């Protein structure tokens, strides 16, 4: 099977999985985002990373929040410490401790949000948690006095913990402040793309990090054990998919770009518009290549987006095709390269009529 049909298959499989849940995924408050980005279980291309964090099911939280824990375990948040790329990078650092704050953070909600995240320890080998659980449930949810902070004020009581509405959850002014806390800094291969989101006031347009990267889903938040030992699910309510939407999944990456074809006096042009809430890409190790071929005339053009020639937030890039005679349509091909993928991954293959 060639790469394209594999991609088509992956997209098909993902839609199949979701068709069960998708009816439940409407939300007026985030209608704009969901129209652009239907909720979707990520299918990242194979880049040598493990599919899930080993040992995730022995986490305390997994006993009752099994579904959420399994989603989290598939993210780079869960694997932020064990990630080989990260381990290789800190191996050559004189003060690797300076890197720990975002990769094994203490619970962020125990101090005012906005400060530098602090590491759980300066000697990771001494940490109890194996294999360190990266950005753990507690990093985002633990609040003062052992309470779990979340979007709801009225949650079912549990012996495991008390629950409180946290200001970093839900629709309040501090929504997204957890994400922004870590994603605002430019460090190593990472560009602080959350700064784009803040300075261009994307939140005023109704956009949010959580809205695009953790789509809404209606389901029980927990499974609990009754007094007689039987299990039952808690009531269905609006929560968020904990498997992060990632550019390593070609389906999600395609949603980053709006494409429009136009005729010009010397051929045609393709307008490529940024539909993410920040610049593209956000890592020095990533690039996206657009190749456009004229159909019905002679002509081809290529453009590469990378961290130096990035597509700015709210920006549009115009790719001109000089074909003399006007083409009848444009064939557009987009591929994505990053560390660990042997052949660039196709995320766009589309024909636009002129
Ligand atoms: C302020 C928070 C923060 C600190 C401190 C931090 N990182 Fe990261 N790191 C991130 C974020 C956020 C990402 C993910 C960015 C992405 O995927 O776009 C990341 C991802 C990475 C990756 C993976 C890149 C890839 O190709 O997937 C490496 C390697 C890395 N960091 C190395 C380091 C090193 C080395 C240090 C210390 C010098 C460090 N980090 C300190 C936030 C941080
Ligand atoms: C013994 C079962 C059990 C365990 C273990 C457990 N929880 Fe919960 N948790 C619940 C129940 C029940 C609810 C309430 C669900 C509801 O009302 O729909 C809940 C609610 C929550 C909420 C939502 C709070 C809100 O106000 O919106 C968060 C966040 C949470 N738990 C995180 C965690 C984390 C993190 C762990 C592991 C450290 C954990 N829980 C362990 C049973 C458990
Ligand atoms: C990077 C931060 C982050 C991490 C890590 C994280 N969560 Fe969440 N969690 C969130 C956000 C954001 C929401 C949704 C807030 C909203 O709805 O506005 C949420 C919502 C929840 C809820 C309430 C959902 C509902 O249906 O009521 C529970 C329960 C929960 N998380 C448990 C967990 C558990 C268990 C883990 C670890 C396996 C975990 N979370 C890891 C950020 C995180
Ligand atoms: C404690 C710091 C921290 C917080 C809080 C945090 N992130 Fe991350 N995030 C990271 C790091 C570190 C990585 C990359 C780990 C690696 O590649 O080794 C990452 C990776 C990611 C990725 C890339 C995933 C991939 O598969 O390539 C996305 C998307 C992301 N985060 C979105 C979010 C969103 C949305 C929130 C808020 C709900 C959030 N992050 C909160 C530190 C953080
Ligand atoms: C309108 C939807 C949208 C919003 C809002 C949004 N993102 Fe993204 N994000 C995307 C898309 C689409 C991509 C894939 C394109 C890319 O790689 O930049 C992406 C990529 C990323 C990546 C991976 C970047 C890389 O190249 O490794 C990270 C990390 C991330 N987003 C974090 C965030 C954070 C943090 C916020 C809030 C400050 C946020 N996003 C807001 C849609 C969004």
**For 85-113, what is each residue's pLDDT tens digit?**
999 999 999 999 999 999 999 999 999 98
16 has pLDDT over 80: no
Grouping H, G, I as helix, E, B as strand and the rest as coil, residue 134 is coil
Best residue among 40, 184, 249, 282 to mutate for probing ligand 5, ranked by most atoms within 8 Å of CB: 282
240 ligand 3 Cβ < 6 A: yes
Best residue among 135, 145, 168, 221 to mutate for probing ligand 2, ranked by most atoms within 8 Å of CB: 221
223 has pLDDT over 80: yes
Phi then psi for residue 308, to 5 deg, are: -95, -40
38 has pLDDT over 60: no
Chain mean position to CA 217: 16
Task: State how far the Cα of 326 lies from the Cα of 324, in Å rounded to an integer.
Answer: 6
Give me the pLDDT at residue 348, please: 98
12 has pLDDT over 50: no
CA distances from 213 to 40, 46, 199, 245, 352 (A): 10, 20, 19, 5, 28
Exposure pattern of 161-181 as b/e (b: 16+ CB <10 Å)? bebbbbebbeeeeebbbbbbb
The domain limits of the chain are 3-250, 256-353
**For 165-217, what is each residue's pLDDT tens digit?**
999 998 888 989 999 999 999 998 999 999 999 999 999 999 999 999 999 99
Residue 309 burial by CB count (10 A; 0-12/13-18/19+): exposed, middle or buried?
exposed
Compute the distance from residue 188 Cα to the ligand 1 centre, in Å.
6
Compute the distance from residue 147 Cα to the ligand 2 centre, in Å.
9
Which helix (H) or strand (E) element contains residue 268?
A: strand 267-274
Considering only residues 32 and 73, tell me which one the structure prediction assigns the higher pLDDT.
73
Compute the distance from residue 161 Cα to the ligand 2 centre, in Å.
7
Residues 131, 86: contact at Cβ < 8 Å?
no
Best residue among 138, 144, 158 to mutate for probing ligand 2, ranked by most atoms within 8 Å of CB: 158
11 has pLDDT over 70: no
- Does the global pTM surpass 0.85? yes
Residues 242, 68: contact at Cβ < 8 Å?
yes
Compute the distance from residue 279 Cα to the ligand 5 centre, in Å.
8
Average pLDDT over residues 300-326: 96
138 has pLDDT over 90: yes
Q: Are strands 163-165 and 148-150 parallel, antiparallel or unpaired?
A: parallel
Average pLDDT over residues 9-20: 36
Compute the distance from residue 229 Cα to the ligand 1 centre, in Å.
44
Task: State how far the Cα of 289 lies from the Cα of 257, in Å rounded to an integer.
Answer: 12
CATH 2.40.50 fits 256-353, yes or no: no
Say how many CA atoms lie within 13 Å of 240 toward its Cβ.
21
Q: What is the mean pLDDT of the chain?
A: 88
308 has pLDDT over 90: yes
Give the residue, by CA position, lying nearest to ligand 2 atom 3: 64
């Amino acid at each position: 099977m060639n790469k394209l049909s594999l991609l088509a298959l992956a997209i098909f499989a993902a839609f199949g999985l979701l068709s069960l849940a998708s009816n439940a995924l409407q939300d007026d408050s985030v209608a704009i985002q969901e129209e652009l980005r239907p909720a979707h279980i990520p299918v990242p291309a194979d880049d040598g990373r493990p599919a899930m964090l080993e040992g995730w099911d022995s986490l305390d939280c997994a006993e009752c929040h099994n579904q959420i824990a399994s989603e989290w375990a598939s993210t780079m948040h869960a694997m932020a410490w064990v990630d080989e790329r990260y381990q290789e990078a800190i191996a050559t650092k004189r003060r690797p401790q300076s890197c720990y704050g975002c990769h094994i953070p203490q619970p962020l909600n125990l101090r005012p949000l906005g400060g530098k995240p602090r590491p759980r320890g300066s000697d990771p080998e001494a940490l109890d948690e194996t294999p360190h659980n990266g950005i753990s449930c507690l990093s985002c949810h633990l609040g003062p006095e052992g309470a779990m902070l979340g979007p709801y004020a009225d949650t079912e009581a549990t012996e495991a913990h008390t629950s409180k509405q946290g200001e970093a959850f839900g629709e309040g002014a501090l929504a997204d402040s957890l994400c922004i806390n870590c994603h605002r800094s430019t460090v190593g291969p990472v560009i602080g793309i959350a700064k784009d989101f803040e300075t261009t006031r994307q939140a005023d347009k109704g956009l949010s990090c959580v809205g695009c990267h953790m789509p809404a889903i209606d389901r029980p938040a927990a499974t609990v054990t009754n007094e007689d030992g039987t299990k039952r699910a808690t009531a269905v309510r609006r929560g968020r998919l904990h498997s992060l939407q990632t550019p390593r999944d070609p389906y999600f990456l395609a949603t980053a770009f709006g494409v429009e074809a136009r005729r010009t006096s010397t051929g045609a042009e393709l307008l490529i518009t940024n539909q993410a809430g920040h610049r593209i890409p956000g890592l020095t190790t990533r690039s996206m290549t657009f190749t456009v071929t004229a159909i019905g005339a002679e002509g081809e053009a290529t453009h590469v987006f990378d961290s130096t020639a990035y597509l700015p937030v709210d920006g549009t890039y115009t790719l001109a095709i000089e074909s003399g005679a006007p083409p009848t349509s444009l064939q557009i091909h987009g591929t994505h390269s990053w560390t660990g993928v042997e052949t660039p991954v196709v995320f766009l293959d589309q024909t636009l009529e002129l």
